Amino acid sequence: MEEGGVNVIDLTQADESFVKELEALGADELRECIQCGKCGATCPMALAGLEFFIKRIVHAANLGLRDILLEDSSVWGCQSCNRCVEICPMDIKPYEVIQAIRRAAMKVESCPANTYEGLRNLYRFGHAVYPKGYEERRKKVGLPDKPPTVISNDEMRKKFQEILRNTILEEIAPFPLD
């Protein structure tokens, strides 16, 4: 996947059914957007130079431009910082539009590889970030090898996994949940 190009808005590709899908996935105020651009003015993605940033993503979402939204990696560069939610005068909750697009992309396995890594770690270890060699680092500051989280409690880890198996992860995880 490439970072967003400039000419991403193509009206001939508009697809109303995708707008409805996004609304159902959490972007429920999407249609009220007035394209004022305030979200883009505070968005770190825009400040960092991603061309397909939040204002344009909301625009594309409103048109139901399924292909570009699912293919472009920009939505995965969102920091979940919620500046856009704070500032939007129409209460669109633009971050939730991003989440809706991600949720749609996950269903068709159109997301970056590191997303799966985080999910797999979350399921297997109970921790999305689970780097090697942490025992040594902890020893250095006089802490026990393992923190008192799910990683040192098998019974709790299994219960946490059972919770995850009862979510949508069961349907769409691209790895076995055993």
Q: Which of residues 8-27 bind another protein (CB under 8 A)?
A: 26
Is residue 13 involved in binding ligand SF4 (CB under 6 A)?
Answer: no
Of 16, 33, 171, the closest CA to residue 96 belongs to: 33
Q: Which of residues 106-165 bind ligand SF4 (CB under 6 A)?
A: none
Q: Which of residues 112-171 bind another protein (CB under 8 A)?
A: 112, 114-115, 118-119, 122, 126-131, 134, 137-138, 140-143, 147-150, 153, 155-157, 159-160, 162-164, 166-169
In order, the DSSP letters of 59-114 are HHHHHT-HHHHHH-SGGGG-----HHHHH-TT---HHHHHHHHHHHHHHTT-S-HH
Of 58, 105, 106, 111, the closest CA to residue 85 belongs to: 58
Query: Binder to ligand SF4 among 22, 25, 39, 50 (CB under 6 A)?
Result: 39
Of 105, 22, 93, the closest CA to residue 54 belongs to: 93
Query: Binder to ligand SF4 among 1, 5, 24, 34 (CB under 6 A)?
Result: 34
Is residue 108 involved in binding another protein (CB under 8 A)?
Answer: no
Of 81, 51, 57, the closest CA to residue 70 belongs to: 57
Two tokens, residue 39: 């979200």
Q: Which does 66 bind (CB under 5 to 8 A by kind): another protein, ligand SF4, none?
A: none
Query: How many other CB atoms are there within 10 angstroms of residue 145's CB atom?
Result: 10
Cα dihedral 61/92/26/18 (nearest 10)? -20
Contact between 4 and 115 under an 8 Å Cβ cutoff? The reply is no
Q: Which does 17 bind (CB under 5 to 8 A by kind): ligand SF4, another protein, none?
A: none
Is residue 80 involved in binding another protein (CB under 8 A)?
Answer: yes
Chain positions contacting ligand SF4, by CB under 6 A: 33-39, 42-45, 54-55, 58, 78-84, 88, 90, 92, 94-95, 98
- Give me the residues that bind another protein (CB under 8 A), please: 3, 26, 44-45, 47-50, 73-74, 76-83, 85-86, 95, 99, 102-103, 106, 111-112, 114-115, 118-119, 122, 126-131, 134, 137-138, 140-143, 147-150, 153, 155-157, 159-160, 162-164, 166-169, 172
